[in-house]
Structure 1
Amino acid sequence: MPKQDSPGPAIIAQGAVPMVELWRGDRLESVHQGHAVVMRADGKIVESWGRPDVVIYPRSSCKMVQALPLVESGAAKGLSTAQLALACASHQASALHVGMVTRWLDDLGLSDDDLRCGSAPPGDIAERDRLICTHAEPCQSHHECSGKHAGFLTLNHHLRGGSEYVDPDHPVQRAVRDAFEDVTGQRSPGYGIDGCSAPNFATELQGLGLAMARYAAAREGVGDLRAQALAQLRNAMMAHPEMVAGEAKACTNLMRATKGRAAVKTGAEAVFVAMLPEQGLGIALKIADGGIRASEAAMTGLLLRYGVLDAADPVVTQYIGPLHNRRNMMVGDTRLAAGFA
């Protein structure tokens, strides 16, 4: 599985359009440009901004795709829907998340040492304080991708593979690549190594959007094994938004606010995807400069545009709307750029 050169920054920026603006007072202070696409499961583009053919790394936005072989292989038999949601998660390492990963590994007869994601400090304040107060070091289960890696280990146990399951030529990652290329409808031009040490396969933005549309259109109990696995993972995410990210995180907040009408997942460097089951639509976006604040605002705007998020919901003003300073003075606002969403 040869590694190939990734697209450079100039290619990511080429053709990008203004999507999110930051205003301070009456002056435009910053502009974030990017690309976005809304797809149907038949491959038709419903709407797009910028270049839908821009090649990107999906980063953690594609974790539900990386979890697909886990489900369709039968390795996930006996796992709860919360565990499936955690396999798709970039969690904040609260006690809820770390506890589930630890129990999951115990059930496999494995330990934290069997993970290959590396250790990371928890994003959850209570868990961070607990570690400080007990003079404990964060472990690999605290890594935001540990749920995905627990899923990899479960699949690896099923496949009887070697311990280095993040190696691009390992059976686990070959299965992931096969699933990724199938649901995106494209042969990946190569991969980069993600922050959790697993390969992350590149694709065009419209390929990622098509994958999300296929997740959106799938129905549990209907169609072949692949279609049912798509629906099972999407529904697990919507049933357990707290497992997918955590309190005060955009994925959890937006899924709760959409009340079962959307499953969403962010990725590093400002990639964001959504699955809209009622409409059978998939959304994928990428902010060219990697600004997470912009990807969260842009996705909020698209969820509003497609009617799965109520404009009056308080969650909207967390990502679009007034900006306040530390004294709670309104000093500016975040806006969607004219012509976008």
Structure 2
Amino acid sequence: MSKLFSRFKLRGLEFKNRIFVSPMCQYSAQDGMADTWHLVHLGSRAVGGAGLVMVEASAIAPEGRISPYDLGLWSEHHAEALAPIARFIREQGAAPAIQLAHAGRKASTDAPWLSRSPLGPEQGGWQVVAPSAIPFAPGSPLPRELAEAELSGIVTYFVDAASRALEAGFKVAEIHMAHGYLLHQFLSPLSNRRDDAYGGSLENRARLPLRVAQAVRAAWPQDLPLFVRISATDWVEGGWDLAQSQQLCRWLKEEGIDLIDCSSGGLTPDARIPAGPGFQAPFAAAIRQEAGIAVGAVGLITAPEQAEQIVATGLADVVFLARELLRDPYWPLHAARKLGAEVPWPLQYERARPA
């Protein structure tokens, strides 16, 4: 019996398997609006058999986008555009999920296949913000330091976006606290040099992320799960690390967070990351053990046997796949055959099912 294809339940939501589609930016929206590209891209992964399909980082405010081409969820119109996507994912038996994000100092950049360079106002960009006035990299714009009085507004943006996600039909929301974006910037001592209640000690640096988690949990239905994605380490000496991540996750569990999506890096451009097959799974295992919370492993998970081993040995409760699902939207169906698991195929595709 494949553990990867066993059911998994969080709160009142049951997932048909433990293969989750990781949020992957498509840089294909105009004014933050989802369109037919997003419907086909995400819908095909739901048809392909994943247990959960997560929409890419969706900005809680226009200035929170990584690029002008990112999805957004700062208005009812954005929710209306996303609703058909959530509905189609549900119709395929997968759980529709969405990641809520603010890019902070890493915002206002070009699409990666163009230049990924920072964009000035004359190029359609905008003023970026951060916990401290420290640029992301040499040549990056100097961010404006957020005033303490503005932080309640950030919390409200996250709550409002979560409410719109619910209206659109999503069953899972994920708060983005990873990859060097705004909430991660508050967590890391490399990017947060504040001397007020939101800087200095770990408790202070975690204050805004925890406020966001608490407020979104209060707005999200009690029978539906709420995830948080973290970077377990900055991979830089003196930065955010696993021990701090474990403490953060203990606090997040107390706030009612149900699963930690364990990634790493992204805060600085010069981090030396020893990437390799499943290299972040040990972070998931360490957080699961120390914080007593469900976790997802992500990062260079490509083979069915590898994914099975991660969940079967308790390194993680689920696996998040990204690039492998770009290469093969039907990876879960193929993985089931390889692992000897009996799973249904879409009726429309049944005639192509291998004997």
TM-score by length of 1: 0.26
User: Larger % of strand: which?
Assistant: 1
Q: Per chain length, whose mean CA-contact separation is higher, i.e. which structure has more relative contact order (CA < 8 Å, sep 6+)?
A: 1
TM-score by length of 2: 0.25
